[in-house]
Amino acid sequence: MIAAKRWVPAVLLAAGLTGGATSAQWNPDTPGDPAAHATAIAALKRLDPDRDATNLVRDVRTIEGLKARLSGGGRALVANVQTLNKAIEDLHAQVRQQEIVVDLSADVLFDFDRWNIKPVAEEDLQKVALIIRKKGRGKVMIDGHTDSKGSHDYNQELSERRARAVKDWLVDHGGISTDVLDTRGFGATQPVALNSHSNGSDNPEGRALNRRVQIVIQTASGS
């Protein structure tokens, strides 16, 4: 746009239309001066149509409109990046070289012994969906995990159902294609904390950490 504003006064100078004691004078060091710019446009409008003044005014306005649209698009891009980064931060996601890993507490997602998504969890799931839409470049793996309470078969089935529930929510409410989502259940076989203390007593804090759904979002296409 600065180049355009430098070009317009040059044309006007050649045409002898930027002079006058009452006119704002154009200074190449301040090409964005509104008063000088307005004077230049007014002078263009006084040119004879045979000298292509009408076309010149239209071209200047087109350039100005393009600049405004590009500026607006840039602001939108920055806003989108900020929203994505905030979602990653809010979820405490791990950003790795080729994937983003999100661990969601099962206590937030589900009621005890259930696999229906709780309304309070939907905000976090929307953030997961945003990350998948913006950064996903391949398969998204949804893994269900439980603590050690209950039988192996019980925990295995519960972990599978919870993983599928998250998948269904992302498809139905997050705009994610079912084709990119895979689910697995691991029961209590992959704990991230101790379910009990070394003396054998219960460790409720550790069990709470183990009750989770882990979502691994591939961010780089395979070669």
Please report, for residues 1, 5, 46, 137, the alpha-carbon distance to residue 8 in angstroms, rounded to integers and kept in the order given. 11, 5, 14, 47
List pLDDT tens digits, range 108-128.
999 999 999 999 999 999 999
Residue-wise pLDDT tens digits, 28-38 = 566 556 676 67
* Pairing between β-strand 212-218 and β-strand 140-145 as defined by DSSP bridges: antiparallel
pTM of the model: 0.67
- Domains by residue range for the chain, with CATH: 2-86 (no CATH), 92-218 (3.30.1330.60)
Give ∠ CA 121-119-189 in degrees, rounded to 5. Answer: 45
Burial class (CB in 10 A: 0-12, 13-18, 19+), 9: buried
Cα separation, 100 vs 184, whole angstroms = 17
Assign 46 a pLDDT band (cuts: 50, 70, 90): low
- pLDDT tens sequence across 132-188: 999 999 999 999 999 999 999 999 999 999 999 999 999 999 999 999 999 999 999
Digit-coded pLDDT (tens) for 56-89: 666 666 776 666 666 666 666 666 778 899 999 9
DSSP three-state, residue 196: strand
